Structure 1
Amino acid sequence: MRTLIIQLVLIAATGAIVWRFLSGVGQRSQAVRRIALLVFGVLAVASILFPETWTMAANFIGVGRGTDLILYMLVVAFFSFMATTFKRSRDADIRYTKLARRLALDEAVPPSVHRATTAVELPSDVTDDREDDAPGKV
């Protein structure tokens, strides 16, 4: 009876996780991700109901125990998650950099306007001195 209760709790938790990911409003989930999630949910429920299946699969493959096989599969899944997350993060960084550059260029003050607003009127005696000191003048 104790095993049945834990099985029901684990199946309910797995179902809640799958439902949360599939029923999200406004999510841009790809079809492959949804199918993979459904497969994961089915495998999780099957693993809960028939735990000896993993041991038989592990023995068939040559791994000692079913728990070891599950651990190996989770390590591979974790590394694939890390790789895709890193790639997605890198792509987002590139997009943000391009966006920031585009905004900087769009909001920049044109050079002609910038020179006109920052130019300072120099007194005529300073202007004359600068012309006399200019290179090439004799």
Structure 2
Amino acid sequence: MWIQIILVIGVIAVGLFFTRPTGSDSHLALRRLFLGAFIVVAILSILFPSWLTWAANFVGVGRGADLLLYALVLAFLVFVSTTYRRNVQVNRRITKLARQITLAHAAVEDAELNRKRDGES
């Protein structure tokens, strides 16, 4: 019984932590919906462990633990995929900013050289 209380509190705490707005996440509403569904399923699985076995049998998996493992592998793959895509986007932005900074520095140096040249003539 104590483990159920601890696990439910842990799931809720992690859920609240991950639903905090970051200010830069454009898919925050969708993430909150999926996380809310995860929290409900996690709490039901903790409070009613036989429910997970029933759900596993319903979809053709032998045990609830196997179903949980498959779901976690799928969630991990989605996480890796979205993290990779986000990394690619961030790298593109950094490259674009580096180019813009380089061009701005070149323009400033060119303007300084022109001023020096005009001052000498």
Same fold (TM over 0.5): yes
Matched, 1:11 2:3: no
Offset at residue 112 of structure 1 (A): 8.2
Runs of 4+ more than 2 Å apart: 24-29
Matches of 2:68 and 2:21, distance apart in 1: 32
Q: Which residue of 2 aligns with 1:113?
A: 113
Which segments of 5 or more consecutive residues in structure 1 lack a partner in the other structure? Answer: 118-138
Q: 2:44 aligns with which of 37, 43, 46?
A: 46
Q: Which aligned pairs between 1:80-119 and structure 2 lie closer than 5 A?
A: 80-108=78-106, 109-110=109-110, 113=113
Structure 2 stretches of 5 or more lacking a match? Answer: none
- Provide the identity percentage: 42
The one-letter amino acid paired with 1:88 is R
In structure 2, the partner of 1:33 is 31
More helix by share: 2
User: If the length of structure 1 is used for normalisation, what is the TM-score?
Assistant: 0.74
1:69 CA drift (Å): 0.6
* Matched residue type, 1:110: D
**In 1, Cα distance between the equivalents of 2:70 and 2:95?**
38
Q: Which has the larger radius of gyration?
A: 1
Structure 1 position 113, deviation (Å): 1.6
Partners of 2:89 and 2:70 lie apart in 1 by 29
* 1:64 matches 2:62: yes
Q: How far has the Cα of 1:28 moved from its partner?
A: 3.6
Q: For 1:25 and 1:43, how far apart are their aligned partners in 2?
A: 23
Aligned residue in 2 for 1:135: none
- Residue identity opposite 1:48 in structure 2: I
Pair 1:101–1:28, CA change in 2 (3 A): closer
